[in-house]
């Protein structure tokens, strides 16, 4: 009798577990994709595994969790979300971010960021800035990819693994209107050039208030923007010290964006550079830099080669007014790429910039930036004119070392 009772009890437990599993699977499969025709915006959460906070790096890989939501009605979801309090105290604003990559990578980054803003927030500029800040926060955090496009399109190949829902739910079949895309690009350029959106601080997640993602209870609720709620990691992962990554990483090609940006239509960077170097008649057929020391060649929208001395690969360049001093080194690298030795001398003032070699007397005193690449010794050195501008953290001033 006892054995029969144990068997019956075990059998009942097995049947109950099987039924519950089936119910959960049916609910997950039947979850709606949208509510009243409005996009359901959810940023998925990776599961934290073995993060060494002191070292600031992952010990093990991160698993991307599906964008699963609780099976509750929109009205119930709003009540649940309202019942969860915001964290106490002020929200710390994220530090400004400056994109320092090549012109090709910058264009790819702008397109990826603008796409996230538009497809996640529509034409709402405030919402776009909030989305952009989340992307930049993830970029700087050790749990996420180290490129703008990598962050935005993480998990795009899996319908349940994409971190931003628009990358895998078919939303990109709807191409934005010209004016809307132009606005999104403008916001993206500002955010990649040091602009911040303070209200969301160091948020790395968000969702609309009519859904309840399973991950929301494990994070700190810090802000609300329109109908969206923003969250950050609990503990050390949500503190400013965790968002300290900085570097220059090539932006990947995203073929889904080829209808919005020529930078994503080819794997050959030179094609993009050539296309964007011939934006005015005088630049359509630049002089051969190997035979002339006087040029007018636009490398990108931020730097123009004025002159070159072929014997030593010395360049005279002019930086545009909208180029940040933080970008000078990356722009110089794009000009000097392919040369074993290179000496780039840059000016920001048209009035003071020399037009050819040899340099006129007094020209070096007005030089803004100098970049030296040598085959021996350090790979390259960068120097800023500290009398004219504030160099980036750790940057050296002209005069610290002979650079010419």
Per-residue pLDDT of the chain (404 residues; tens, 9 = 90+): 445 545 455 566 666 666 665 554 444 444 333 333 334 444 544 433 333 333 333 322 333 344 566 777 888 888 988 888 999 988 999 998 888 777 888 999 999 999 999 999 999 999 999 999 999 999 999 889 999 999 999 988 766 568 898 988 889 999 999 999 999 999 999 999 889 999 999 999 998 888 888 788 889 999 999 889 999 999 998 999 999 887 778 899 999 999 999 899 865 554 454 344 333 222 222 233 333 333 445 555 688 888 888 767 888 999 888 888 888 888 888 888 777 788 899 998 777 788 877 777 678 888 999 998 876 556 788 899 888 888 888 788 987 644 33
Cβ-count burial of 192 within 10 angstroms (0-12 exposed, 13-18 middle, 19+ buried)? buried
pLDDT at 13: 60
pLDDT of residue 286: 29
What is the reported pLDDT for 175?
92
Give pLDDT, residue 10: 58
Nearby residues of 67 by Cβ (< 8 Å), 6 or more positions away: 42, 44, 160, 162, 165, 213
Angle at 392 between CA 386 and CA 393, to 5 degrees: 110
User: What pLDDT is attached to residue 138?
Assistant: 95
CA–CA gap between residue 144 and residue 154 (Å, rounded): 8
Give me the phi and psi of 111, to 5 degrees please. -65, -45
Q: How far apart are CA 373 and CA 379, in angstroms?
A: 6
* Contact yes or no for 401/381 (Cβ under 8 A): yes
- What confidence score (pLDDT) does residue 205 get? 93
d(CA 353, CA 251) in angstroms, rounded, equals: 32
pLDDT of residue 60: 29
Pairing type for strands 396-397 and 380-384 reads parallel
d(CA 332, CA 347): 12
DSSP 312-378: TTEEEEEE-TTS-GGGHHHHHHHHHTT-SSEEEEEES-TTT---SSSPPTTGGGG--EEEEE-SSSS
């Amino acid at each position: 009798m006892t054995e029969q009772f144990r068997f019956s009890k075990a059998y009942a437990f097995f049947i109950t577990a099987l039924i519950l599993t089936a119910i959960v699977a049916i609910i997950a499969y039947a979850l709606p994709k949208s509510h009243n025709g409005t996009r359901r915006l959810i940023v998925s959460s990776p599961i934290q595994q073995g993060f060494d906070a002191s070292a600031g790096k992952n010990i093990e890989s991160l698993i991307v969790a599906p964008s699963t939501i609780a099976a509750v009605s929109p009205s119930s979801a709003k009540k649940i979300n309202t019942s969860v309090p915001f964290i106490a105290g002020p929200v710390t604003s994220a530090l400004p971010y400056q994109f320092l990559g090549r012109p090709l990578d910058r264009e790819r980054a702008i397109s990826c960021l603008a796409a996230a803003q538009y497809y996640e927030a529509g034409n709402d500029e405030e919402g776009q800035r909030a989305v952009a800040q989340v992307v930049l926060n993830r970029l700087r955090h050790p749990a996420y990819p180290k490129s703008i496009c990598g962050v935005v399109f993480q998990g795009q190949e899996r319908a349940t693994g994409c971190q931003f829902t628009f990358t895998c739910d078919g939303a990109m079949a709807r191409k934005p209107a010209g004016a809307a895309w132009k606005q999104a690009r403008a916001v993206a350029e500002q955010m990649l050039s040091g602009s911040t959106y303070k209200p969301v601080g160091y948020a790395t997640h968000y969702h609309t208030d009519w859904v309840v993602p399973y991950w929301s209870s494990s994070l700190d609720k810090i802000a609300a923007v329109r109908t969206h709620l923003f969250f950050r990691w609990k503990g050390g992962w949500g503190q400013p010290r965790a968002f300290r990554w900085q570097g220059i990483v090539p932006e990947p090609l995203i073929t889904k964006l080829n209808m919005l940006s020529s930078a994503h239509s080819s794997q050959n960077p030179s094609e993009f550079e050539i296309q964007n170097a011939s934006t005015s008649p005088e630049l359509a057929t630049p002089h051969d830099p190997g035979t002339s020391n006087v040029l007018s060649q636009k490398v990108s929208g931020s730097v123009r080669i004025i002159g070159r001395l072929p014997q030593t690969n010395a360049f005279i360049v002019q930086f545009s007014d909208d180029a940040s001093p933080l970008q000078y080194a990356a722009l110089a690298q794009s000009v000097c790429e392919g040369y074993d030795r290179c000496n780039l001398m840059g000016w920001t003032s048209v009035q003071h910039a020399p037009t050819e070699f040899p340099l006129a007397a007094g020209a070096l005193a007005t030089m803004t930036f100098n970049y030296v690449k040598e085959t021996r010794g350090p790979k390259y050195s960068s120097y800023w004119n500290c009398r004219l501008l504030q160099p980036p953290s750790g940057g050296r001033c002209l005069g610290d070392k002979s650079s010419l």
